[in-house]
Amino acid sequence: MELVVARNRAELVKARGEGPIALVPTMGALHEGHRALIREARALAARVVVSVFVNPLQFGPSEDLSRYPRTLEADLDACRAEGVAVVFTPAAEDMYAADRQVGVSAGHMGTIVEGTARPGHFDGVLTVVLKLFNLVQPDLACFGQKDAQQLAVIRRMVADLDLPIGIVGVPTVREPDGLAMSSRNRFLSAQDRERALALSRALSAGAVEATPSRVVAVAREVLGAAGLDPDYLTLVDPATFEAVPEAYKGEAVLAVAARVGRTRLIDNALIRL
């Protein structure tokens, strides 16, 4: 299958073809984690569309929009190797009108945990995802569990707005030493990359504890030993991202965000109490 690159809406309409279609939304700088999403999408649908778009709406004023890696040619090579049918790579002005007024609100879930550190971030995520859904018209879309709160707010949007799209969560892909794959890992110095391993170690250490307070306390000890002061470290309900009570039983997400050097990283683990 020859890869088609659609650089605007008109080219996408011509290229998308007939379903079943699976969408893999990305901001580019593709790594093995993205390739796992594409492979899952290919297993579930006849045609896969990958979007490569660095979405300005999900970056705050002091965040790294200009610094975010852009590696389009390498991304296209990866998509060819994985059998992708279409890559949609629009310009910002093609996605957003200069006088844009309407967007999507993530509601309360968009203001907690990661939303506390990044106000408006999830509103920007949902706005671009809904636009991609409308443009691509997929039957299903694949998102990584590494961005667990993003996955939760997208599932909520699909449910609340009655969108006829299946949402597939794909497990986090990690380096052999446990570091969760991220496009931002390339910004870590060798020393900071070693310190960053404390995130996955903290999650693993907390995951074997029996109560929410012990889960968080043990994980925090591991981070502290590495000199990391997290933006947050919390055990939450996977569907709502509200902190779970001490008597909670069942699945929960242990979520963490921390700055390692100049690079902010997030990670999480799905555990069962």
Residue with tokens 């594409």, as numbered in its chain: 38
Q: What gap in Å lies between CA 40 and CA 121, rounded to an integer?
A: 26
Q: Which of 12, 16, 22, 34 is catalytic?
A: 34
Active site annotation includes 34: yes
Q: Pick the closest to residue 255 from 210, 202, 208 (CA basis).
A: 202
Q: What gap in Å lies between CA 108 and CA 121, rounded to an integer?
A: 12
Q: What gap in Å lies between CA 41 and CA 24, rounded to an integer?
A: 7
Q: What gap in Å lies between CA 171 and CA 54, rounded to an integer?
A: 22
Q: Could you list the residues known to form a binding site for (R)-pantoate, using ranges.
A: 58, 150
DSSP letter for each residue of 30-89: --HHHHHHHHHHHHH-SEEEEEE---GGGS-TTS-TTTS---HHHHHHHHHHTT-SEEE-
Q: Could you list the residues known to form a binding site for beta-alanine, using ranges.
A: 58
Give catalytic residues, as residue numbers.
34
